[in-house]
Chain A
Amino acid sequence: MTKSRLIAGIATALVVASSAAACSSGGSGSDTDTLTFMFRGGDDEKKAYQEAIDRLTEDTGVEVKMIVTSADQYAQKLQAAVAGNKVPDVFYIEQASLQSYVSSGVLMDITDQVAEQGVDLDNIWPYGVDSYRFDGTVQGTSEGRLYGLPKDIGPFAFGYNADMLEKAGIDRPDPDQPLTWDEWLTICQKLTQDTDGDGETDQWGTGLNVQWNSQAFVWSNGGDWTNEDHTQVTVDTPEFAEAIQYIADLTNEYGVTPNPEQAQTLDTYQRFMAGEIGFFPVGPWDMSVYNDLDFEYDLMPWPVGKTGEPATWVGSLGIGVSNTSSQPEDAVKLATYLSTDETAQQTLIDANVQIPNRIDTAQEWAAEVEEDDTLKPTNRQEFLDIAEDYGREMPASFTYGAEWYDELWVGIQPVLDGKQTAAEYLAEVQPRMQELLDQSNAQAEQAAAAGSAP
């Protein structure tokens, strides 16, 4: 009886001790001299960042520990880290989350330190830098304080299967002269055919995704999601409806895209890569994959609507510094290196995963194709044109939360299936979106008032 009690006592002590040890070992605070950098990405990014970090360690002796997560878990893990007071010193920050992180005092204002360290902000894409500026009320203008440096900007361009066009006897689109919607539709109709004679269409002009591609059509037609100061939802304008209806008609009226069932079987992205689709969007992150396809592809300006000007969105991801970092200067330096270090940028460019952050490097990169015409895509300049001229931020990038924006997509399928007209649906959904946008703005105000924003 005494023996079993002894054993029980020892077992309990062991359990308690191990759980206590587990608790404390889980909480490794930031040791002096080791910064933590949390991000999500593939092997290319890891390699490039390792190089930037190595240079940083060489130059300053500061060590850095990288924490990589998968893309869909990043937001949750970051939030958990913030809630648990274990914020990494440097981490990825999305445009859409900037305001709430700043108002909650998580992100550090790095304006002064970046200036002190002599970073040439003029040589970084203005859109990239301004996306992480916030003056307490408005984000994205050049007047706000800086809360992050861009990891990259992603101009979302339009591309085409050059081999397919050649086979159909169609000229390559002019990089300086965009096609109108009607011209483009005619080409798509020519491309949509049954190439192997089995009675079923197996080649289509295009295959669009309304959530990511409608922006180019809406904006080029003169419509927009909100007014300039993001207080009024303007999706129920005729221009907006025309654009959405045009996209839906591509499938239902003109049949130049795979139908929804075919798209579910094999989505249009895969079909483009298999050579079944003529025109498809191309982001910088696609280059590494597309360069290896067995057909030639190239970039072109998006087809234009009423305004006659192309338009598309530019994505971005930022690198922010924690307000509670124990080594703020070194952390800012790390962010700078990750964003602008030349070797790291070169590695990323060579891996074809993004366009260069520095404007001078980007211009060189685009000009390279004049010397070496095996480099793909030939019309790299298109990415730069978007970054400089006709690219804009996504409608919900600079609002406080994206719920109002997501609401549009929830019920849009009937429009795409041809069961409801775009105009009807937009009239229905506008009040709901407006309510959510109002809520979003109210929260932004309260956060600004209650938070520790400068």
Chain B
Amino acid sequence: MTSTATPAATGARTPAPPAPAPPRRGGTSRLHRIEKRWALLFVAAPVIGYLLFIAYPTGFALYASLTRWNGLGPMQFIGLDNYVALAGDERFHQTLFNTFFYMIGIPVGLAISLALAVMMNRKLFGRAAFRAIYYVPVISSIAAIAILWQWAYNGDFGLVNQFLAIFGIEGPNWLADPAWAKPAIIMMAIWKGLGYSMLLYLAAIQSVPRSLYEAAELDGANGWKKFRSITLPMVQPVTFFLVVTQVIGGAMIFIEIQIMTPTGGPEYSTASVVYHIWLQAFRYQQMGYATAMSVVLGLLILVITLVQFRLNRRNAGFVID
């Protein structure tokens, strides 16, 4: 805007500039220098930790994936041969399929835990006890749980088949049946994760402003409508968080499989990618090849997570007054 103010008016009316701000750059004051040093020191710890334990191993792994290495001796550079072998490895493809199949359990688990959270939100007798009970599997040792479930899935006298027998259903020999081994592990994983998701959902539900529900009631909404139009959207951030973390965790599923089906399951039907990686690295001493598989898995997880974040963008700046 070109100023056409008269010279006289400009001169007298220019407001005095504010008191000079303390010099920002260089930190000439001693206090500033001391503060800065301490700041750098404190920041150095996690940064060094990151470099040592995340950046360096990742770089090393990327290099190792381009070598032939048995974990003991020297690494031999072979370029992209490992990746080419991966593309043709049927077992690897099978494990990829298995791993993604396991993710079917995620929406099921979230639905159940949301329902549980809604129920736990009411004033029930013994509510605190129920909440604790549902949370116990989360803090229990995964190995102990896997062994327990292994017995429960026993074809002859396991608890699961006994339960089904009440309804007259003859249960299969779960962990030895190629068709039923994966669903068996899915059920166990859902059961284990219920408490954690339920807890997060509970916290989210309780933070939904009451005023919204009241307004809905005034408009004549019934329970289901309130749930669908208020609760569900309001806990969406939690849903997003749980889906992202559970997809990442699910892609790395290993212990359950190693304990419940130590050989990778009937016809390798339960083996996950990490199981295959472990087998190649430590049993067959193909460290280079296993590292290549880990790199591929890592990239896959990264891409999926980025896609999820992208899809969620329209929800991100979502505020409620």
Chain A residues within 8 Å of B, Cβ to Cβ:
5, 12, 75-76, 79, 82-83, 97, 100-101, 103-106, 260-262, 264-265, 401-403, 409-411, 413-414, 443, 446-447, 450-451
A contacts with B: majority SS: helix
Mark the stretch among B66-74, B105-113, B186-194, B238-246 that contacts chain A: B66-74
Interface residues of B in 139-172 (CB under 8 A from A): 154-157
Considering the chains assembled together, what is the distance between the CA atoms of A82 and B176 in angstroms? 37
In the complex, which residue of chain B has the Cβ closest to the Cβ of A76?
A: B282
Which chain B residues lie closer than 8 Å to A409 at the CB level?
263
**24 A-B Cβ contacts within 8 A?**
A75-B283, A76-B282, A79-B71, A82-B71, A83-B72, A97-B285, A100-B70, A100-B72, A101-B72, A103-B73, A104-B73, A106-B72, A261-B156, A264-B176, A265-B154, A402-B284, A403-B283, A410-B263, A410-B264, A410-B268, A411-B268, A414-B267, A446-B68, A446-B76
Q: Which residue of A106, A262, A450 has the most chain B CB atoms within 10 A of its CB atom?
A: A450
Which chain A residues lie closer than 8 Å to B38 at the CB level?
5
The answer to whether A262 touches B156 (Cβ under 8 A) is yes
The answer to whether B264 touches A447 (Cβ under 8 A) is no
Which chain A residues lie closer than 8 Å to B76 at the CB level?
446, 450
The answer to whether A264 touches B73 (Cβ under 8 A) is no
Please name the 8 residue pairs, one residue from A and one from B, whose CB atoms are nearest each other, closest first.
A104-B73, A104-B72, A265-B156, A403-B284, A261-B155, A82-B72, A100-B70, A401-B284
Considering the chains assembled together, what is the distance between the CA atoms of A79 and B156 in angstroms? 40
* Minimum distance in angstroms from A448 CB to a CB of chain B: 11
The answer to whether B70 touches A75 (Cβ under 8 A) is no
In the complex, which residue of chain A has the Cβ closest to the Cβ of B178?
A: A413
Which chain B residues lie closer than 8 Å to A76 at the CB level?
282
The answer to whether A105 touches B176 (Cβ under 8 A) is no
* Minimum distance in angstroms from B185 CB to a CB of chain A: 17
The answer to whether A447 touches B154 (Cβ under 8 A) is no
Which chain B residues lie closer than 8 Å to A82 at the CB level?
71-72
Interface range, B side: 20 to 34
Considering the chains assembled together, what is the distance between the CA atoms of A260 and B266 in angstroms? 13
Considering the chains assembled together, what is the distance between the CA atoms of A262 and B173 in angstroms? 11
B133 at the A interface (CB under 8 A) = no
Which chain B residues lie closer than 8 Å to A260 at the CB level?
173, 176
Which chain A residues lie closer than 8 Å to B45 at the CB level?
12
The answer to whether B72 touches A264 (Cβ under 8 A) is no
In the complex, which residue of chain B has the Cβ closest to the Cβ of A75?
A: B282
The answer to whether B74 touches A450 (Cβ under 8 A) is yes
B contacts with A: majority SS: loop
In the complex, which residue of chain A has the Cβ closest to the Cβ of B265?
A: A410
The answer to whether A451 touches B156 (Cβ under 8 A) is no
Q: Which residue of B72, B76, B155, B282 has the most chain A CB atoms within 10 A of its CB atom?
A: B72
B41 at the A interface (CB under 8 A) = yes
Query: Which one, A103, A104, A264, contacts B156 given CB within 8 A?
Result: A264
Query: Which one, A79, A265, A410, A446, contacts B267 given CB within 8 A?
Result: A410
Given A410-B267, A446-B68; A79-B282 close (CB under 8 Å): yes
Per-residue interface assignment for chain B, residues 25 to 60, with 1 indicating a CB less than 8 Å from any chain A CB and 0 otherwise: 000000000000010011001000000000000000
* Minimum distance in angstroms from A320 CB to a CB of chain B: 13
Q: 12 other contacts beyond A261-B173, A409-B263, with CB at 8 A cut-off? A: A12-B42, A75-B282, A79-B282, A82-B71, A83-B72, A106-B73, A401-B286, A410-B264, A411-B268, A447-B70, A450-B73, A450-B74
Considering the chains assembled together, what is the distance between the CA atoms of A413 and B266 in angstroms? 7
Considering the chains assembled together, what is the distance between the CA atoms of A185 and B211 in angstroms? 80
* Minimum distance in angstroms from A431 CB to a CB of chain B: 12
Which chain A residues lie closer than 8 Å to B70 at the CB level?
100, 104, 443, 447
Per-residue interface assignment for chain B, residues 68 to 97, with 1 indicating a CB less than 8 Å from any chain A CB and 0 otherwise: 101111101000000000000000000000
Considering the chains assembled together, what is the distance between the CA atoms of A105 and B283 in angstroms? 19
Which chain B residues lie closer than 8 Å to A104 at the CB level?
70, 72-74
Per-residue interface assignment for chain B, residues 109 to 136, with 1 indicating a CB less than 8 Å from any chain A CB and 0 otherwise: 0000000000000000000000000000
* Minimum distance in angstroms from B154 CB to a CB of chain A: 6
Query: Which one, B73, B157, B285, contacts A105 given CB within 8 A?
Result: B73
In the complex, which residue of chain B has the Cβ closest to the Cβ of A261?
A: B155
Considering the chains assembled together, what is the distance between the CA atoms of A447 and B73 in angstroms? 9
Considering the chains assembled together, what is the distance between the CA atoms of A100 and B285 in angstroms? 9
